[in-house]
Amino acid sequence: MSTFQAPKGTYDLIPPRSAVFLAVRDTIATQVRNAGYGYVETPGFEDVNLFARGVGESTDIVTKEMYTLTTKGGDQLALRPEGTASVLRAALQANLHKQGNLPVKLWYSGSYYRYERAQAGRYRHFSQVGAEAIGAEDPALDAELIILADQAYRALGLRQYRILLNSLGDKECRPVYREALQSFLRGLDLDEETLRRAEINPLRVLDDKRADVQKQLVDAPLLRDYLCDACKAYHEQVRELITAAGVVFEDDPKLVRGLDYYTRTTFEFVHDGLGSQSAVGGGGRYDGLSEMIGGPALPSVGWALGVDRTVLALEAEGVALDLPAATSVFAVALGEEARRILFGKVTELRRAGIAADFSFGGKGLKGSMKDANRSGARLALVAGERDLAEGVVQLKDMESGEQRAVALDGVLDAVRELLG
């Protein structure tokens, strides 16, 4: 009987590559935690209507890509395809917006699910870290989030990415543009499905990646030419703030992103080393989403950065993260008495906060030292019957090869001294 495989379009994270994913998550999380964002965790599935209303019924995510299920009780649920709607739902349910101190600043990390054509950088299960600032309309918040994402990528060592920036207007000026765009699209040679989408949300057509569609969109009206004065002023403030922070960006008047809830600021981080799946992260302002899902008016802004694609971007640039060894001390015991005593020493080291491991399985000196080498440990703790009779263990520096005898009761101090 053949062994089971991970479902198509998914992947397993296993050492040593999993350490890179953890480091990416931690680096992004450090930036947002330092800016006052608190951690939030939501269920892996939600009411399907949360995404239909929030993400948008005309989006590919809702029409083609959601994993949906019906429970035994008849509830219609969907595996979460993105994080923002879930986080906003959780904030509303907990009444965080009523506790003062707006905006509510939250960050999250987790797996998301979309039924897509599986390819490198595009998976059916993928990992993201996201940040949301809920309940305030302030260009400084938009700028803060763009700067934080830029800091996270730079802290990881990425350099070959670009930031694309646009404004999608608001409920005052977007309808005028929508009408102009629909009028333009009706005159093109588009398939029935695309024309239907154009009637529901014409901005979705601008996001169509097919070459034959993009070719016809060259002369499409641009939203920036229809922005009202308030949206123009708001966007200019965002641009000024991120420029003052030294963040380089490109204006992209055709950037709309794939979700219906965006208003005003929208941005994307793209990496040209990833081929067609070049977006490594992105986000924007979503001032009307709270009302779409039954909440009060809560202007908000946020982003999600793809952990999977960030790792691919690091590999494309040849950036190797400086990852600490998972193990600092590896204990090699020769004989039953040594096993008992060294196992106790490993426990003592761990309680003192030192990463320590043990040679399990009674492999003998040669096999155990191979394990010590593979572990990446800086130090090896070795003891046999003769050592124990003298009340010592051998402490070996795995880098220099130097070895010295250390009294049993002085192991912790000696290890601390050598590890600095």
Count of CB atoms situated within 10 Å of the CB of 158: 20
pLDDT of 60 strictly over 70: no
In a domain, 6, yes or no: no
Identify the band that residue 100 occupies on the pLDDT scale cut at 50, 70 and 90: confident
pLDDT tens profile 194-246: 888 888 878 878 877 788 888 888 888 888 899 999 999 999 999 999 999 99
- Strands (DSSP E) along 161-248, which ranges? 161-167
Together in a domain, 52 and 150: yes
Q: How many CB atoms lie within 10 A of CB 229?
A: 9
CA atoms within 13 A on the CB side of 309: 26
Please give the backbone phi and psi of residue 9, each rounded to the nearest 5 degrees, phi first: 85, 5
Across residues 339-343, what is the average pLDDT? 95
| Predicted local distance difference test score (pLDDT) of residue 54 | 72
Q: Would the pTM of this model clear 0.85, i.e. be above it?
A: yes
For 359-373, the pLDDT digits (tens) are: 998 888 899 999 999
Count: domains in the chain:
3
- Regarding whether 179 and 166 lie in a shared domain, the answer is no
Region 124-149: what's the mean pLDDT? 97
- Cβ atoms < 10 Å from Cβ of 35: 16
CA proximity to 163, closest of 288, 248, 49: 248
Residues 201 and 277 in one domain: no
* Contact criterion met (CB below 8 Å) for 415 and 329: yes
Question: Does some domain include residue 403?
Answer: yes
End position of a domain, from candidates 262, 288, 317: 317
Q: Which residue has the higher pLDDT, 329 or 61?
A: 329
pLDDT at 57: 63
* Cis-peptide into 15, omega within 30 deg: no
Mean pLDDT of the region 34-51: 95
Q: What is the pLDDT of residues 232-267, one digit of tens each?
A: 999 999 999 999 999 999 999 888 776 667 889 999
Amino acid 307: pLDDT: 96
CA torsion angle for 238, 242, 245, 246 (degrees, to 10)? -150
Asked if residue 292 is part of any domain, the answer here is yes
Report angle CA 343, 349, 351 to the nearest 5 degrees: 105
Kindly report, residue by residue over 69-99, the tens digit of the pLDDT: 999 999 999 999 999 999 999 999 999 999 9
| Rounded Cα gap, residues 65 and 51, in angstroms | 11
The answer on 383 and 277 residing in a single domain is no
Q: Is the same domain home to 337 and 408?
A: yes
SS3 (DSSP) at 31? helix
- Answer yes or no: do 166 and 178 share one domain: no
Residue 259 pLDDT: 63
Give the residue from 162, 188, 217 where a domain finishes: 217
Mean pLDDT of 187-191: 85
Q: Rounded to an integer, what distance in angstroms lies between the CA atom of residue 373 and that of residue 376?
A: 6
Mean per-residue pLDDT, 324-328: 89
What average pLDDT does the segment 47-63 reach?
76
Domain assignment present for 9: no
pLDDT of residue 48: 92
Mean pLDDT of the chain: 91
Residue 241 to residues 34, 136, 144, 300, Cα–Cα distance (Å): 19, 17, 9, 18
Instruction: Say which DSSP state 65 is in.
Output: I
Q: What's the CA gap between 348 and 139, in Å, rounded?
A: 52
324 located within any domain: no
* 126 and 188 belong to one structural domain: no
What percentage of the chain reaches a pLDDT higher than 90? 70
**Is 308 inside any structural domain?**
yes
Q: In the numeric block, which tokens belong to residue 155?
A: 């802290």
The range of the structural domain enclosing residue 210 comes to 174-217
- Residue 250 has what pLDDT? 96
When pLDDT is cut at 50, 70 and 90, the band that residue 174 belongs to is: confident
Confidence of residue 320 (pLDDT cuts 50, 70, 90): very high
Across 128-152, average pLDDT: 98
**3 or 260, greater pLDDT:** 3
